Copies of this chain bind each other. A is one copy, B any other.
Amino acid sequence: MTRALFLSSALLALSAGRGFAQDPRFTKDNELIRPTNYREWIYLTSGLGMSYGPNAAESTNPPFDNVFVNPSSYRSFLQTGKWPDKTIFILEIRASTGHGSINRAGHFQTGLVAVEAAVKDEARFPEKWAYFSLGGPSAPRNSAKAFPKQECFSCHNKNAAVENTFVQFYPTLLEVAQAKGTLNASYPRDVPAPGK
């Protein structure tokens, strides 16, 4: 019994510390509560200065975006090529610079700019997926309301490779989705899945 209790405590400690079974949490008003440990979740990819608009232009020090997903949903995706209910993504936006220390070209990451989230919650949201802004360092939000449908959902719904998610930009998962046959029928498949 002592051993059982010890193991149980150890398991709980691991779960809490490493984001196992990290379901998204909401206030009673359906506001997403800011996750505190997303930097310990599973990393999916980073982009630099990505832009989707028709007037997209390059800039000198564009922001990086780092994408994380909760570990249990990642493991589920590897098995199925789909996202389970209660999946939560974090998009962390960071400033970039090119010069500092010994670096002479390209860009590296510096300060936090903003944190955004995407959540799949089939019972809570009519469209299943909802999107949130958790603010930047000068105005962080402990919780946030979902954006109206036209703000993020519509573009994700129209252009995403798997369900509402831009798996076309997550190279390790694009391979999984191709292997499992879970790419959306509407997805044009113009980003080839890289070989391992």
Interface string of A8-42 (1 = CB under 8 A from B): 10110010011010000000000000000001101
- Asked if residues A49 and B101 are in contact (CB atoms below 8 Å), the reply is no
- Looking at chain A's contact residues, the main secondary structure is mixed
- Asked if residues A109 and B169 are in contact (CB atoms below 8 Å), the reply is yes
Give A140 Cβ to nearest chain B Cβ, in Å. Answer: 8
- Asked if residues A194 and B7 are in contact (CB atoms below 8 Å), the reply is no
Q: What chain B residues lie within 8 Å of A101 (beta carbons)?
A: 159, 161, 166, 168-169, 188, 190-191
| Contacts A43-B39, A194-B110; A57 near B10 (Cβ below 8 A) | no
| Contacts A58-B106, A101-B166; A66 near B52 (Cβ below 8 A) | no
Interface string of A98-117 (1 = CB under 8 A from B): 00111111111111100000
Q: What chain B residues lie within 8 Å of A42 (beta carbons)?
A: 39-40
| Contacts A100-B191, A103-B51, A137-B196; A109 near B4 (Cβ below 8 A) | no
Using CB atoms, name the residue of chain B closest to A42: B40
7 pairs of residues in contact across A and B, judged by CB atoms under 8 Å = A11-B11, A11-B14, A14-B20, A46-B46, A51-B104, A54-B104, A110-B192
Residues of A at the B interface (CB closer than 8 Å) are 3-4, 7-8, 10-11, 14, 17-18, 20, 39-40, 42-43, 45-54, 56-58, 62, 64, 66, 68, 71, 74-75, 94-96, 100-112, 137, 155, 159, 161, 166, 168-169, 171-172, 188, 190-192, 194-196
